[in-house]
Amino acid sequence: MKHPRQNKRALQTHPSALAVPSYHRILVKHGLIEKTLSISDAYEVFLKVGADPEVQKLRREVAPGNKLKHIPALYLATAMALQGMTEQELNALKFRIKEKRETF
């Protein structure tokens, strides 16, 4: 008795999910922005998140050395730094980002 042949093709993600830049997905995943925020606004928020002293400190711990000149490495290190933050730290970061948005 043969078993039914399993589909070995990789699951394909929805094309619209691939159309969103990685920084947008990173920020949405960690609850720093809404999924509906425009890509240009999301990039501004990502730059502010990357400029935050707490994120920079965690990013340096994640990626020692001077490897962050490569852009994807910067996104990855920021994502890993955000992943290492507690819920309280993420809420504090969200508050700091919101404060910076309102001052401009």
Tens digits of residue pLDDT in 15-67: 455 688 889 999 999 999 999 999 999 999 999 999 999 998 988 887 665 55
CB 32, CB 93: distance < 8 Å: yes
- The tens digit of pLDDT for each residue in 66-83 reads 555 566 777 888 899 999
In contact, 84 and 62? CB cutoff 8 Å:
yes
Would you state the pLDDT for residue 19?
A: 81
Q: How far apart are CA 6 and CA 4, in angstroms?
A: 6
pLDDT band for 99, please (50, 70, 90 cuts). confident
Residue 8 has pLDDT above 60, yes or no: no
